[in-house]
Amino acid sequence: MAKIKAFKGVRPAIDKVKEVASPPYDVLNSAEARIEVTNNPFSFLHVVKPEVDLPEEINLYDEAVYQKGKENLYGLIEKKVLIQDEKPYLYLYQQIMGDVKQIGLVACASIEDYENDIIKKHEHTRANKEADRIKHVDTLNANTGPVFLTYKARNDMNKLVDEITKTQPVYDFASEDQIQHTFWLIEKEEDITSITEIFADIDFLYVADGHHRSASGTKIGQKRRALNPNHTGEEEYNYFLSVIFPHNQLYIMDYNRVVKDLNGLSKKDFLKAVEEKFVVEQKNTEYKPEALHDFGMYFDGNWYKITAKADSYPIEDPVNSLDVAILQNNLLHPILSIGDPRKDERIDFVGGIRGLEELSKRVDAGEAVAFAMHATSIEELMTIADAGKVMPPKSTWFEPKLRSGIIVHLLD
């Protein structure tokens, strides 16, 4: 049974929310973030990517980076750009991107649920990224970026959400990427109680995006629990900031691959090797996969549709029958010698939000080959998480991304 908790959110003043709200820390590099904060002292990138306020040559894991993040967060609070709610609330956060509309519950999720696998995971974390988030959360004493969770949709929750979203929101603005962000306070005690009881009847939550944030939030809680002789389990450090969406509202895009070289193969030999486990068909225009086990391949100035042969993957295996696993096991590893795609510098990953033209542009500029993927489904993700297994790296790209800075959870 999932445990959620209302909390005293730290939020932007109404007239500052558009300036504060920023992309999450992990979708921009430092150079892009420095450009983004130009002439905007209130951008939350000053908190989640605080190197933007330090010399360009600084090591991103330098102690000064974390201290600058702390200084910037509490500076925004001191200036009343960010203000803490006086009472614990739940919140709703709606995003509209074209035809995609998703409404999530903003709440604190329990580290105990994470420990007990009530919050299910589908990815391994990387030690260096996890250590970075632990240091950031611990130094700032705050969850500054929410974990993106999902649950199997329920009619009772949908009805409550429908009623609440008929009321006046506290924020309603469009970000520079034309995504509409709308935010409501859930102030009525009876609504907070009803929602908490609904989630207490939900068997599992699933991490959609934010494995490093959920892992780091849990480890900070464990550390503080061990150091507190008067620990009760209700302290704020026992919870991490989350936005929780019904599964049938989520939009997963393709997560594509670009490889720098052909591993010493000639163009002719590469195509011949691909044909061993794929049916290869040249296309006259760019090809976006329309079905599972189809891939687009851009190579030597041409687009191809390549389809995995039926006997080339274990159909009953929920992990190795995923398209990302089929491509890795039947092509990237045996033909191009990409062993661990998380560590190999010869491969790069391109979110579907950039479009197929990004793939052809990269190859035309000198990289060797690009692959367009069919998007992984939320049902596949849940099946794998329920089985206690993990997906291959870079399997899912969720859009729209949650903005940072719209709400913060302090750990004391």
pLDDT at 341: 87
Give the pLDDT band of residue 63 (cuts 50, 70, 90).
Answer: very high
Residue 364 sits in the same domain as residue 294: yes
State yes or no: pLDDT of 129 exceeds 90. Answer: no
- pLDDT reading at 392 higher than 90: no
Q: Are residues 217 and 346 in the same domain?
A: no
Into how many domains does the chain fold? 2
More confident residue, 291 or 127: 291
How far is it, in rounded angstroms, from Cα 115 to Cα 109?
A: 12
Percent pLDDT > 70 in the chain is: 100
> 291 and 187, same structural domain?
no
Say yes or no to pLDDT of 91 above 90: yes
Residue 128 scores a pLDDT above 90:
no
Q: What mean pLDDT is reported for the chain? A: 95
Residue 394 has pLDDT above 90, yes or no: no
Task: Collect contacts of 360-367 with beta carbons under 8 A, ≥24 apart.
Answer: 360/286, 360/298, 360/303, 362/258, 363/258, 363/298, 363/299, 364/301, 367/258, 367/259, 367/260, 367/261
Residue-level pLDDT at 27: 85
User: What are the tokens at 388?
Assistant: 């206690």
Q: What is the mean pLDDT of residues 110-127?
A: 92
- Structural domain of residue 323, as residue ranges? 255-374
Whether residue 284 is found in the same domain as residue 311: yes
Residue 247 has pLDDT above 90, yes or no: yes
Confidence of residue 152 (pLDDT cuts 50, 70, 90): very high
Task: Place 123 in a pLDDT band, splitting at 50, 70 and 90.
Answer: confident
261 in any annotated domain: yes
- Whether the Cβ atoms of residue 143 and residue 241 lie closer than 8 Å to each other: yes
Residue 387 lies in a domain: no
Looking at 365-404, list the stretches that DSSP marks H as alpha helix, in order from N- to C-terminal side: 378-386
Instruction: Quickly state the pLDDT bin for 350 (edges 50, 70, 90).
Output: very high
Residues 231 and 291 reside in one and the same domain:
no
Q: What is the mean pLDDT of residues 273-278?
A: 98
In this structure, the answer to whether residues 247 and 343 fall within a common structural domain is no
Mean pLDDT of 180-208: 97
Q: pLDDT, tens digit, for every residue of 310-334?
A: 999 999 899 999 999 999 999 999 9
